[in-house]
Amino acid sequence: MIQTIYLASRSPRRVELLKQIGVECLIKPADIDESVLAGELPKDYVLRLAREKAISCQKILGKECLNMPILAADTTVALDDMILGKPINDADAFSMLKSFSGRQHEVHTAIAVVFNQEIQVSLSSTLVEMMALTDAMIHDYIAMGEHIDKAGSYGIQGLAGAWIKNIEGSYSGVMGLPVYETAQILRNLSVKKLSIKKIKCEKVNNESRNFN
């Protein structure tokens, strides 16, 4: 499997998850407009943003990215097909967490990998059931600051993990990077990379024999 990539993200969680599967990364964040398009569904939204981040990073890097893949990811939380991104303030975070109380919601994470003029995408969708939360619990959580810069205003890997009754899907996907899907794409790219090298070597060898 490819072991070094560019990561179009500042997320320390994604860096740690990549290390978990033996992949090191060079951080090259891509800043794009993350506005939701009119009528856009949550799954379509994260897939579009992951692609746009990867392509934006590729344009920034130019020839630098010829030898290494670029991986971009985007995560969003959805409740009844309503997209809930990162909170704009504490009141917004409270509203989101209150809406999850005693209910199920979905977490969608899309990944996009660009390499050799090819882009591969994958989507991980997980159903998350949260326990009933009191206002005091939510206020205490927000006071600790764990909601900041997190889709849906919580991180499953932190204190809010104790609120999760059940998940159906990928735990790492809820964290921000589905490791299974990521590893599958990087393995496929490794095979292709080796095949391309083999073809190039055979071409060079054939040309050398013809020359002689």
- Chain center to CA of 177: 4
Exposure string for 78-87, b = 16+ CB within 10 A, e = fewer = bbeeebbbbb
> One-letter amino acid identity for 171?
Y
Task: List 166's β-bridge partners, or say none.
Answer: 129
Query: What one-character DSSP code corresponds to residue 44?
Result: H
**CB burial readout 116-148, b (16+ within 10 A) else e:** eeebbbbbbbbebebeebeeebbeebbeeebbe
Structure tokens that stand for 82 in this block? 């309503």
For every residue of 71-110, which 3-state class applies, written as one string? EEEEEEEEECCEEECCCCCHHHHHHHHHHHCCCEEEEEEE
State how far the Cα of 51 lies from the Cα of 71, in Å rounded to an integer.
9
Does residue 74 carry a catalytic annotation?
yes
Instruction: Select which of 44, 74, 80, 92 is catalytic.
Output: 74
Positions marked active-site = 74
